[in-house]
Amino acid sequence: MQPLTFRTDDEVSRALPVAIAHLTASRVLGHPTETVYGLGCTLTADALERLADLKGRDDSKPFITLVAGLEMLGALGVALSGAAAALASRFWPGPLTLVLASDRTLPAGLVRADGAVAVRWTSHSGMQRLITALGAPMTSTSANRSGLPPAATAAEIVSQWPGAATHGLLLALDGGPGGTGRPSTIVDCTGELPRVTRDGAVSADVLREVVPDVVRTD
């Protein structure tokens, strides 16, 4: 299956029904973001299993969950308070992922052993429209096989998984070469102090301008 163009408003409008039908069939979507290209799916066990198989990793490393608004946090059983609320207010939508405690039982592949979930409100306009039209959060993980850098284009996604694309298990959205080229920064907000667990598009120094207590994992 060839990538669908996903750049202009009209192209996004034409792609949305196809992409949503693909996602609701528990298949994997290659998609642009404000950072790097990702692989995503709906939050169902079947879809998550397919994504994990395609990515080649187990449930010990949960996938990031993308939302298109604060109202979607309720579906994940998470709430913003303290440092998380301050960081979200400044950097969402944008390339910051927050790890938050959840009071819901969520599928394996979304949560850590302690039940925490990683969430980002994407600032990519096309993906915001897609997630809003889907009416629910979706997962995202960098679009690359182990040992390779994240795909910079939709064509690279297809070239890394040609069999899945040919058989319709993977559909790629061509959003062009945009994005920062760096993954989102991940901040774990479940402990006493917010902790940067992955450096990315937002530096720790910039985060500290909002929350001075932010620390880094060495």
pLDDT band at residue 148 using 50, 70 and 90 as cut-offs: confident
- Domain regions of the chain by residue span: 4-216
Question: Could you tell me if 63 and 109 are in contact, meaning their C-beta atoms sit under 8 angstroms apart?
Answer: yes
Cα dihedral sign, 79-84-88-90: positive
Distance CA 96, CA 201 (A): 8
Given CATH 3.90.870.10, say whether it is the number of domain 4-216.
Answer: yes
The three-class DSSP label of residue 35 is: coil
| DSSP letter, residue 77 | T
pLDDT band at residue 137 using 50, 70 and 90 as cut-offs: very high
pLDDT band at residue 146 using 50, 70 and 90 as cut-offs: confident
pLDDT in tens, 93-136: 999 999 999 999 999 899 999 999 999 999 999 999 999 999 99
pTM: 0.95
Question: Could you tell me if 194 and 213 are in contact, meaning their C-beta atoms sit under 8 angstroms apart?
Answer: yes
Neighbour order of strands in the sheet with 28-31: 4-5, 170-174, 28-31, 38-40, 138-142, 64-67, 116-121, 96-101, 185-188, 195-198, 215-216
Distance CA 22, CA 133 (A): 13
Residues of the chain with pLDDT > 70: what percent? 98
